Chain A
Amino acid sequence: MITETLSLPVGRQRSVIPGFGITLGLTLTWLSVIVLLPLSALFIKTSEISLERFIAIVTSTRTLHALQVSFGLSLAAAVLNLIFGTIVVWALVRYDFPFRRVVDAIIDIPFALPTAVAGIALTSLYAENGWVGSLLAPLGIKVAFTQLGILVALIFIGLPFVVRTVQPVLADLDAELEEAAASLGASRWETIRRVVLPAILPALLTGFALAFARAVGEYGSVIFIAGNLPGQTEIAPLLIVIRLEEFRYADATAIACVMLLASFTLLLLINRLQRWSEMRGTGA
C-alpha cells in the first residue's frame, strides 16, 4: 500500500510538494542551536585541556571508581533486565491471564515516572525501615545506600527498554516455524532454543544495549538510593555534578567527554543491532 509511492524515483526537483528548502533549513538550524552546538562546546572545552591533564583527571582513583561503578552496575542491571524482561515478554505475548492489558500498560511506568520520584520512592521502600528493606534487614541484606541500591534503581529504569524492544518481534514471530520444528520431532525446549531464540536474538541484544546505555547515564533515580560515597557508591554522572559545584570545570568536562564518547559508541552499536534486527524481521 505504501511501497508504490515511495519506491517511485521521486527526484527532489521534480516533487510537486513545496517547502523542502525552508523546512530543511529550519530543521538544521534548530538542531544546531539546541543539540549540535552545545555538544560541540563540550569537545571545544575538552580540547583546551592538555593531554596530560586529561589523562590525569580520567585515570584518577576517584574518577576510575565512579566509571567502574556506573559501567559495572549498568552491565549487571542490563543482564538482569534481559533475563526478567524476557520472562515478562514471554508471559505477555504467549499466555493469557487476567488483567494482561493492565500489566502490559504498567511496563511503561519507568518511562513516564520522573526519575526523582522513582529515586525517593525506591529509597523509602528499600531503606531499613521501608516495606522491602525491613524484610531484608533481618537477613543481613542492606539495599539502600549500597551498590545493591544502585542496581535496584537501574533495573527499574531499564526494564521497559528490553520489554518494548523484544515484545513486537516475539509477537510477529511466525507460529508455523515452531509447529514445523515440533512436527519434525524437536522437543519444546529445542524448538525455543533453536528456532525462537535465534529469531529474537537481535531484538534481545538491542534491548540489552538500550537498557545499558540508559543506565550508564542515569542520575535522578540513582542519587537518592546510592549513598554517594566516593569510591563505593558514587556514579560518574554524580561526580560530574560534584566537580561542577566545586568549580572544577576541567574535571567535569573531561569526565563528561568520556561519558559522551561512550554514549556515541553505544548509539552506533545500537543502530547496527537495529538494522540487523530489521533484516532478520523482513528476511524471515
Chain B
Amino acid sequence: MSSTSHSALPQALASEGLPAHVEVRPLRHPGPTNTEPKAVRIAIITLALAFLALCIALPVVSVFYEAFKRGWLAYVTALAEPDALSAIRLTLLVAAISVIANVTFGLIAAWAIAKFEFPGRSLLITLIDLPFSVSPVVAGLVYVLLFGSQGLFAAYLQAWDIKIIFALPGIVLATLFVTFPFVARELIPLMQEQGTAEEEAAVSLGASGLSTFFRVTLPNVKWALLYGVLLCNARAMGEFGAVSVVSGHVRGLTNTMPLHIEILYNEYQFVASFAVASLLALLALVTLVAKTLLEARLAEDAS
C-alpha cells in the first residue's frame, strides 16, 4: 500500500477516498445508544458555533467593515493610490512566478516519487514538506545569510553587481521557499494511489514519455493540480514574515500587498490599510469557495 504520510491531505480525499471494501454505513443518524442527550447535543453545537463565530468569522467580517467604514470613495481612493497599485502589481508578479515554478517542480517531483520505487523516497517527501515547519522569519533569514551584504555569496554578488536581498529576486526566493510543498504534496499521494498501470499501458502501446504524461497522467491529476495551485497562490500573495525579512520595505518598489498593509497600519491609515487587506481577504474567501467545490472533484479522482 502506498505510504501516505501526508496528513494534511484534503479532508474530503482522506474521508471519501476509502478503500472499496469499507462499506459506507447508511446509519448516519445513530440510535439512542450512539448519541448524547439532546441538551448535551445542543450545548456542544452552540459552544462550537459561538467559538467559530468569535474566533474565525468575526475577524474576517471586521476586515470588510473597517475597509468600508468611510464609504466607497475612501475605499477606492485608498486602492487607487500609486504605492498601493505598485504593491498589487508586485504581489501578482511574485505569485505568478511562484505558481509557475511550483507547478513545474510539483509535476516533475510527483512523477519521480509516485511512479517509481527507489530508496530514500519517504525521506525525499519529508524534505519537500520541510518548509511547512520552518518559521517564515527563519525562511527569510536564510536567504539574507546567503545573499545579504554579510552573506556567504556576498563577494560574488558584489563583483557581478547582482542585487538579490532588498530586491525582487529575494522576494521571489523567499516566496518560493514558503510555497515549496504546496503543489507537490497534493499531487504525490494522488499519483501514488493511481498507480502506474495506465502509464505502462500507454508506453507499451508506443506512446512517448512526454505524450504519456500529457495525455494520461495530467488529465488524471488536473483537479489536484488546480487545488495545489489555489493554495500555492493564496500563500504566495499573502506571505508576510519571509518576504518582510528580505524586502527592505521600499515603497513603490519592494513592497508586496501584505507589507503595504503593515506600513499603512503603522502610519494609522487604517481605512487604507484595511482596504488593501480586504482584497487579500476576498482572495482568501474565493480560494475557500473554489477549494470546497474542487474537493468533490478530487474525491472522484481518488476513487
Q: Which residues of A contact B135 (CB under 8 A)?
A: 216-219, 237, 256, 259-260, 263
Bound-state Cα–Cα, A120 to B173, Å: 26
Bound-state Cα–Cα, A108 to B130, Å: 21
The stretch of B3-11, B75-83, B220-228 that contacts the partner chain: B3-11
Query: Contacts A5-B197, A159-B56, A249-B150 hold; do A240 and B137 have CB atoms under 8 A apart?
Result: yes
Beta-carbon nearest neighbor of B193 in chain A: A2
- Identify which of A5, A37, A97 contacts B45 (C-beta below 8 A): A97
A71 close to B (CB within 8 Å): no
Bound-state Cα–Cα, A12 to B177, Å: 30
- Identify which of B59, B176, B289 contacts A118 (C-beta below 8 A): B59
State how many angstroms separate the Cβ of B220 from the closest Cβ of chain A: 13
State how many angstroms separate the Cβ of B192 from the closest Cβ of chain A: 8
Interface string of A101-114 (1 = CB under 8 A from B): 10101111111111
Interface string of B147-165 (1 = CB under 8 A from A): 0101110000000000000
A172 close to B (CB within 8 Å): yes
A55 close to B (CB within 8 Å): no
- Identify which of B20, B36, B66, B138 contacts A256 (C-beta below 8 A): B138
Bound-state Cα–Cα, A156 to B130, Å: 23
Give the interface size bracket for A toward B.
35 or more
State how many angstroms separate the Cβ of B227 from the closest Cβ of chain A: 12
Query: Contacts A109-B288, A252-B141 hold; do A17 and B240 have CB atoms under 8 A apart?
Result: no
Beta-carbon nearest neighbor of A267 in chain B: B133
Which residues of B (19-45) have their CB < 8 Å from a CB of A?
19-20, 25, 27, 29-31, 33-37, 41, 44-45
Beta-carbon nearest neighbor of B121 in chain A: A24
- Identify which of A109, A216, A224 contacts B60 (C-beta below 8 A): A109
Bound-state Cα–Cα, A26 to B104, Å: 10
User: Is A17 a contact of B196 with CB atoms below 8 Å?
Assistant: yes
A79 close to B (CB within 8 Å): no
User: Is A114 a contact of B238 with CB atoms below 8 Å?
Assistant: yes
Bound-state Cα–Cα, A244 to B249, Å: 14
Q: Which residues of A contact B212 (CB under 8 A)?
A: 17
Q: Which residues of B contact A3 (CB under 8 A)?
A: 1
Beta-carbon nearest neighbor of B234 in chain A: A112
Bound-state Cα–Cα, A121 to B270, Å: 10
Q: Which residues of B contact A131 (CB under 8 A)?
A: 58, 62
B250 close to A (CB within 8 Å): no
Which residues of A (181-229) have their CB < 8 Å from a CB of B?
182-183, 188, 206, 210, 213, 216-220, 224
User: Is A42 a contact of B277 with CB atoms below 8 Å?
Assistant: no
User: Is B105 a contact of A260 with CB atoms below 8 Å?
Assistant: no
State how many angstroms separate the Cβ of A143 from the closest Cβ of chain B: 12
B218 close to A (CB within 8 Å): no
Query: Contacts A15-B116, A16-B204, A182-B33 hold; do A253 and B173 have CB atoms under 8 A apart?
Result: no
Bound-state Cα–Cα, A132 to B55, Å: 11
Which residues of A (1-60) have their CB < 8 Å from a CB of B?
1-3, 5-7, 10-12, 15-20, 23-24, 26-28, 30-31, 34-39, 41-42, 44-45
Interface string of A76-96 (1 = CB under 8 A from B): 000000001001101110111
> Footprint of B on A, CB under 8 Å?
1-3, 5-7, 10-12, 15-20, 23-24, 26-28, 30-31, 34-39, 41-42, 44-45, 84, 87-88, 90-92, 94-97, 101, 103, 105-118, 120-122, 124-125, 130-132, 152, 155-156, 159, 164-165, 167-168, 171-172, 175, 178-179, 182-183, 188, 206, 210, 213, 216-220, 224, 237-238, 240-241, 244, 249, 252-253, 256, 259-260, 263-264, 266-267, 270-271, 274-275, 277-278
Supply 7 A–B pairs (Cβ within 8 Å), ascending by A.
Answer: A7-B1, A24-B118, A103-B52, A113-B60, A130-B62, A156-B55, A267-B126
